[in-house]
Amino acid sequence: MITKAPGIEDIFPDKSAQWNHIIACARNCFGRYNFREIVVPILEFTELFVRGIGTDTDIVSKEMFTFEDRGGRSMTLRPEGTASVVRAYCENGEYNRRNVSKFFYVGPMFRAEKPQRGRLRQFNQLGAELIGEDDPYYDFEMIALVNSICAEIGLPPYTILLNSIGCKEDRARYTAELRSYYAAHASQLCHSCTTRLDKNPLRLLDCKEERCAALKDEAPKITGFLCAECADHYGKVRRYLADAGIAYTENPHLVRGLDYYCRTTFEFVTDVLGGQNAFAGGGRYNQLVEELGGAPTPAVGFAAGIERMMLMCPPENFKSYTLDAYMVHSEKSFGKAVEIACMLRGRGISVDIDPVAKSFKAQMKRCDREKAAYALIIGEDELAQGCCTVKNTSNGEQKKIAFDKLTETLYNELQRSVYTG
Ligand code: HAM
């Protein structure tokens, strides 16, 4: 038997109610905040992510699925969506069309991480990018949008972590301080962090190794290194959040694992996921558009992991898909049953039917297994009388309805049952 590769999951129909619910809630919220969908490629030139995310990040240095195509070009399965959205924005000259562009996306991402609960090699994100504005209002709006999505989905309690990592100059001053702090503890660092210390000390703060994480508590905090403008920007983001009644916890070590961030960074975390506690994250990235060949353009965005959100909500919170009607027929009435099934489907009613006329009992059993709301029985008697026996499977009530009244009667009954739950 050929199995799926490690860290890659199938989503079976029993989980798809949850899956669809999460995406539908997010789409509703994106619409309310005036974000429009963009569909970007899954496969891109490797250089996009190397330049966009940063050579020294874990994602680029060890987690990308990269291969040479038949033309000898280096291609990568996207590990995230931001770089692709910005590439598309620049390539299509979006900046000529509007001052602020608001995109959202939903789709698979790929990272060659060590698989565990909530950490997959192929996972799905929903995310948004707002390109063209530096106003702190938009940083707030992005966090408020994620918060609305969580509320709409009905996620259990979570914490919003917030930080500002300032501008390039702030980070240069901070990084120098960070380097000297960690250099003094060099012997305690893991092998990767010894390299990070040289190349990109900010990444030391992301290390999950116990001995490196322990050093983080005493490490210098970026907050003391923010210039007046960045401090003011951060202050306004916090004020907008406070005014909107959105609670947050400041975490001065929240630098996020991608190099493109500046100023605001945020993460939505929960303890129900164990090790993988972040289920959404994002922040401001004012240099990325320029880095990828566009004019200097500020931007802010977020992405959330769909599988992690699925793990957070108990399956019983989701109404699973139900079948409206199951046709029960005899060999002789099969033609009529198919005709009726087509009519009902045409009116938006879901129907299933087995072409082989099994015994009445076997068909009723199948109706049960499919959890159909109604059994529509057309035996020889019904055929002769021009009607159908309609059995409500939840209360066992049975009545006969003429063929020409069936579609509307059933449609109205199903509508009623939706509204009364
Ligand atoms: P990220 O924090 O790398 O940010 O990923 C966002 C979310 O994707 C995480 O919070 C998590 O829920 C999910 N995720 C990441 N890796 C995995 C994995 N291996 N398995 C399962 N879920 C995972 C970004 O990707 C940025 N592009 C977000 C952003 C958009 N920043 C600005 N705009």
Nearest CA to ligand 1 atom 30: 302
CA 113, CA 62: separation in Å to the nearest integer?
Answer: 8
Ligand 1 pocket residue status of 120, Cβ below 6 Å: yes
Contact 305, 124 (CB under 8 A): yes
Please give the domain boundaries of the chain with CATH numbers for all domains.
13-167+227-317 (3.30.930.10), 325-420 (3.40.50.800)
Expressed in angstroms and rounded, the spacing between residue 268 Cα and the centre of ligand 1 is 11
The pLDDT assigned to 144 comes to 98
Contact 26, 126 (CB under 8 A): yes
CA 81, CA 301: separation in Å to the nearest integer?
Answer: 10
Ligand 1 pocket residue status of 119, Cβ below 6 Å: yes
Quote the tokens at residue 220: 């210098």
Other CB atoms closer than 10 Å to residue 362's CB: what's the count? 13
Nearest CA to ligand 1 atom 31: 282
Quote the tokens at residue 86: 């910005």
Ligand 1 atom at minimum distance from 301 CA: 33
Ligand 1 pocket residue status of 301, Cβ below 6 Å: yes
Residue that is written with structure tokens 């961030």 in the block? 261
Ligand 1 pocket residue status of 139, Cβ below 6 Å: no
Task: List the chain pLDDT tens, one digit each, 421 residues.
Answer: 999 999 999 999 888 889 999 999 999 999 999 999 999 999 999 999 999 999 989 999 999 999 999 999 999 999 999 999 999 999 998 877 778 999 999 999 999 999 999 999 999 999 999 999 999 999 999 999 999 999 999 999 999 999 999 999 999 999 999 999 999 998 999 988 988 888 888 988 988 888 888 899 899 999 999 999 999 999 999 999 999 999 999 999 999 989 999 999 999 999 988 877 999 999 999 999 999 999 999 999 999 999 999 999 877 767 666 899 999 999 999 999 999 999 999 999 999 999 987 899 999 999 999 999 999 999 999 999 999 999 999 999 999 999 999 999 999 999 876 544 3
DSSP helix/strand/coil, 271:
coil
If one residue of 308, 309, 310, 313 were mutated to test the ligand 1 pocket, choosing by the most ligand atoms within 8 A of its CB, it would be 308
CA 285, CA 303: separation in Å to the nearest integer?
Answer: 13
Ligand 1 pocket residue status of 166, Cβ below 6 Å: no
Q: Is the dihedral of CA 146, 12, 370, 394 positive or negative?
A: negative
For residue range 143-201, what is the model confidence (pLDDT) as tens digits? 999 999 999 999 999 999 999 999 999 999 999 999 999 999 989 999 889 888 888 88
> Which residues, listed in sequence order, are joined to residue 327 by a DSSP beta bridge?
376
The pLDDT assigned to 417 comes to 67
The pLDDT assigned to 106 comes to 98
Ligand 1 pocket residue status of 79, Cβ below 6 Å: no
Ligand 1 pocket residue status of 282, Cβ below 6 Å: yes
The pLDDT assigned to 418 comes to 53
CA 4, CA 420: separation in Å to the nearest integer?
Answer: 42
Read off the pTM: 0.91
- Neighbouring C-alpha atoms within 13 Å toward the C-beta of 135: 9
